Amino acid sequence: MKKGCIGCLGALGVLFLAVLGAVLYFGPNYDIYLLPPSSEQYAKSALNKMNSALYIDENWSQKKEKALKEVKSAKTYADTYPVLKRMTKLSGGKHSYFYTPKEFKTSPKEESRLPVIKNENDILYLKLPPFMGNEKEAKAYRTMLHQALTKETYKGVIVDLENNSGGNMYPMIGGLAAILSNGTLFQFEYANGQKIGTTLSQILASKQTEEKNSSKTIPIAILVNGNTASSGEMTTLAFKGLPNVKIFGKPTAGYTTGNMVYSLYDGATIQLTVSRIIDRKGNRYENTPIEPDIATTTPLNDARTWLLEQISK
């Protein structure tokens, strides 16, 4: 009996060591660490996260190996930052960033502002600022838009995305659900060719808005300029191609790609571009600007004129 117990304990010990070894070896690939990673392991983990980046090519493995050789003598994580910054841009393009822990903590966080809402002459005006807040602030943002669209009386809508530099697109699109059509808003196309659509139903299911109210089709004007970027552009694309929508202003900033955010062991962060965007008409965007339907330096006035024409028909 004792020999049997000893044998069981021995087997459990071997199993424990095997599991421990597996976690030590494979864990860093899944951000699981029993011990702090070496600088080289840290860099390798970061580079592996870039395997899904949009702009990697057939020589990516060699480029990674070369980068790992450059950090082989690194004594601290900070010693690897220059190489990782370079590789982030190389693999992910202009919409990708590597933030050191200090940069991430001290990066300017724009104060979360709520939308501005006005209702004049049967036209509901919605000014959407960029959004980088928490869930409580997100709920306030989207609820304010939702209530305006479902409680106010109006015959046309202006969605002003000028100077909306991005952040979290969900409160923006979710708050506007009442005037968006059901179905696919846009698609993300990954480097391997896989396409994943984003539908209004998915936005609703994500609890980023109130339940959609059925509403009649009304004319909608979208205002954009050269500072409309990232999630501001994604919100524009959610409307682009709808028959009751016109976009006024200037070409957008051209950050029309999908990003993933990865946190590293020491608090550094990689914001990595992993997909291009396809709009509802099949047009592809790869950090290319969205062209307005009506190019103008007076978008608000021109939008009002167009809406009043549509309303009077």
Give me the residue spans of the domains in the chain. Answer: 25-93, 116-258+272-312
Question: pTM here?
Answer: 0.85
Contact 244, 220 (CB under 8 A): yes
Can you tell me the mean pLDDT for 78-95? 98
Average pLDDT of every residue of the chain: 89
Radius of gyration of the chain (CA): 25
Task: Tell me the per-residue pLDDT of 279-296, one tens digit each, with 9 for 90 and over.
Answer: 999 999 999 999 999 999
Centroid of chain to Cα 25: 31
What CATH number does domain 116-258+272-312 carry, 3.90.226.10, 3.30.70.120, 3.40.1640.10, 3.40.50.150?
3.90.226.10
Q: Is the pLDDT of residue 216 over 80?
A: no
* Token code pair at residue 97: 């960033």
Please state at what angle helix 60-70 crosses helix 39-49, rounded to 10 degrees. Answer: 160
d(CA 255, CA 265): 28
- Give the per-residue pLDDT at 182: 85
**Model confidence at 6, in pLDDT bands (50, 70, 90)?**
low
Interval 106-129 mean pLDDT: 86
Give pLDDT, residue 113.
87
User: What does the pLDDT average to over 90-111?
Assistant: 85
What does the pLDDT average to over 87-116? 87
Residue (of 128, 120, 52, 43) closest to 86 by Cα position: 43
d(C-alpha 312, C-alpha 155), whole Å: 10
Q: Within 13 Å and on the Cβ side, how many CA atoms surround 154? A: 25
Q: Is the pLDDT of residue 234 over 90?
A: yes
Confidence of residue 212 (pLDDT cuts 50, 70, 90): low
Residue 237 contacts residue 257 (beta carbons within 8 Å): no
Is 95 a residue whose pLDDT tops 90?
yes
- The size of the chain, in residues, is 313
Q: Residues near 9 by Cβ (< 8 Å), separated by ≥ 6? A: none
Strands 294-295 and 245-249: parallel
How confident is the model at residue 65, as a pLDDT?
A: 97
